[in-house]
Amino acid sequence: MIRKTIKLITVACFSALMVGQSGAFALSLSHDKVIPAELIQYVVPRFSLKTRIRFDRVDSVGDIQFVTERPESGTQVLELISGEMVYIRAMGEAAQSPEYRAFVDWLVSDPGRATIADFRIDGRQIAIPAEAQEAAPVEIVIVGDRDHGRELSWSHCRRCHKVDRADKYAGIGNAPSFHAMRSFDDWYLRFSTFYTVSPHKALISVKGSGIEKNRELITIAPIDLQMSDINDILAFVHSLTPLDLGKPIQFNP
């Protein structure tokens, strides 16, 4: 009982931390004036809810932009009933970020297109999603060192996750096992970005990721990683046998 209470308190502290920090390091997002702000406000949170990837909405030029003039590189995502085509594009390094790619993939996917089509102003649909596109198969390039990834996972992630099937440890309550997550279609994205989402955000620093941490906020032993460590963990997770998806999802098998 007492242990349970302590756990609850810990979780509460984590959540409080996260609420305070959420969005602080997100990519920024802006849109041309002719694109109704209500449309963006409708679409973006639905993506964030699903993926926990958030963008900071800005009025100036964002890292990610919805524009109506065809950009040199970008993706057409919808057409307004006023006739303008709307494209999405990203500036500089943001274009390579998993967050941006996930957003574009979602916008042209069935759920993303349905969200765009659902939006109404005064009962009228104002945006027509882009033609369905063949989803390009995600190309996964494994460059990391699997054995080092395994070591890192055992020493850092096993505090909370079951990281290997042979491992008898069950993990903490709400932390899914690595096998369960390996069976998700988007495992690669999740394992590329885990350090940007709760509860890791407060705990794990990745040198070179551009994300600064306030060490004073961290109450348990922090974890310091390099970008190359993330690739090594990806290589390790890639080598795991995914949990059988035919069965209902078990988070802690």
Q: Give the interface with ligand HEC as residue ranges (CB under 6 A).
A: 52, 156-157, 159-161, 174-175, 181, 190-191, 194, 197, 199-200, 203-204, 233
Q: What is the dihedral of CA 199, 146, 248, 170, to 10 degrees?
A: -60
Residue 199 or 242: the one with the smaller Cβ distance to ligand HEC is 199
Q: State in angstroms the smallest separation of the CB of 177 from ligand HEC.
A: 10
Residue 39 or 206: the one with the smaller Cβ distance to ligand HEC is 206
Choose among 79, 78, 84: nearest CA to 104. Answer: 78
Pair of tokens at residue 37: 């702000």
Q: State in angstroms the smallest separation of the CB of 212 from ligand HEC.
A: 18
Q: State in angstroms the smallest separation of the CB of 142 from ligand HEC.
A: 15
Q: State in angstroms the smallest separation of the CB of 181 from ligand HEC.
A: 5
Tokens 């070591």: give the residue: 151
Residue 113 or 161: the one with the smaller Cβ distance to ligand HEC is 161
| C-alpha of 131 from chain center | 25
d(CA 247, CA 244): 6
Residue 130 or 204: the one with the smaller Cβ distance to ligand HEC is 204
d(CA 119, CA 22): 26
The set of residues, in sequence order, having a beta carbon less than 8 Å from that of 21 and lying 6+ positions away, is 201, 202, 217
CB 233 within 8 A of CB 226: no
Residue 146 or 159: the one with the smaller Cβ distance to ligand HEC is 159
Q: State in angstroms the smallest separation of the CB of 176 from ligand HEC.
A: 6
Residue 36 or 199: the one with the smaller Cβ distance to ligand HEC is 199
Whether the upstream peptide bond of residue 137 has omega within 30° of 0, thus cis, is: no
Q: State in angstroms the smallest separation of the CB of 2 from ligand HEC.
A: 20
Choose among 216, 196, 220: nearest CA to 22. Answer: 196
